Amino acid sequence: MMKKSLIARNNDLANTQRQLEILSNGIFNNGKLPTFAQKIKETNQFPIRPKKLEVLQLNLGYMCNQVCAHCHVDAGPDRKEIMTKQTLLQCLEVIKKTKPNTLDLTGGAPELNPNFRWFVQEAAKIGINDFIVRSNLTIIVSNKKYYDLPQFFKKYNIHVVSSMPHYTEQKTNKQRGNGVFNKSIQALKMLNAVGYGKAQTNLKLDLVYNPSGAFLPGNQKALENDFKKALENNFSIYFNNLLTITNLPISRFLDYLIVSENYEDYMYTLVEAYNANTLKNVMCTNSISVSWNGYLYDCDFNQMLNLKVASTVQHITDYNENLLQNRSINIHQHCYGCTAGSGSSCQGAVI
């Protein structure tokens, strides 16, 4: 893990401008590689337009009990950005009006928001087909006040999606910190104990795989089979699906690429793996990401670059689905990450 970030610590204007400058200059500025806009114009897919809203993703705050090397949110224990109860109330009103198929709570560690349980209870009353909480697993065993989270998730039929870089201790700890693997295994056993990941229940437990270096994820189904076999044989742990997510060149992963002198090679990899067929299913077309302070983004990656939706409606207080449907999706070079190979989204591979 890097001792000092090349990019400003917080996601303020200077930080996002610095990231956008890195992504705009060099190989893209001198024409060695086409910009993402140029690439999608080649197949007459510019601009990208939104479809019907299916996923409303809320970032409840950047505070986290971990500091993962690949984290695109730059989350950690020292982050103070937390979604307030007032903003959560505004989100509830939007959920009632729009009735998205999926409500997706993320962070940081969303469970660290002081109003997390209250919000889950209130949102569950509205009725959500797929109610996701993105848990880092270790939060469950980090403090006794979180030990009952598996039972809480079960009570509200929460779909738990958890990061699990690998089924081996060494590779997981390398990406997420010492001791994370064993704590994750403990948390997974607690979730299994209440029925999560079991074939005979409807309690869904999915794991998320991010590559540990400057390379693309392998075939999602093949990796899922490997994970299931290893976790069952070694720990008697069960889960439903494995979701593969490509690391996008932003935030800490961009830091890593620069420090390791892999930035240009990685961008070449993404561009060469570009798959035009992924564009119709990328998550920005059917999702809205709401930041901790209520601003609206096409996806949570754009949120980290402060690329708000290209609309007169940019905050949850002014939410208007009809106006948002008429926007164009904000794009930049990092979008190559979601369109490489089988594609990538918060829901895993897109094709």
The CATH number of the domain holding residue 195 is: 3.20.20.70
Q: Answer whether residue 6 shows pLDDT above 50.
A: no
In tens, the pLDDT along 103-161 reads 999 999 999 999 999 999 999 999 999 999 999 999 999 999 999 999 999 999 999 99
Sign of CA dihedral 327, 254, 247, 82: negative
Residue 18 CB neighbour total at 10 angstroms: 14
The total domain count for the chain is 1
- Tokens matching residue 147: 């030990």
Instruction: Indicate the pairing of strand 130-135 with strand 287-290.
Output: unpaired
Is residue 22 in some structural domain?
yes
Is residue 219 in some structural domain?
yes
Is residue 193 in some structural domain?
yes
Instruction: Indicate the pairing of strand 55-59 with strand 102-106.
Output: parallel
In tens, the pLDDT along 43-59 reads 999 999 999 999 999 99
The CA-atom distances, in angstroms, between 238 and each of 13, 167, 228, 342 are 43, 12, 7, 25
In tens, the pLDDT along 307-343 reads 999 999 999 999 999 999 999 999 999 999 999 999 9
Which among 259, 294, 258, 305 has a CA at the least distance from the CA of 17?
305
Is residue 281 in some structural domain?
yes
Domain that holds residue 281: 13-338
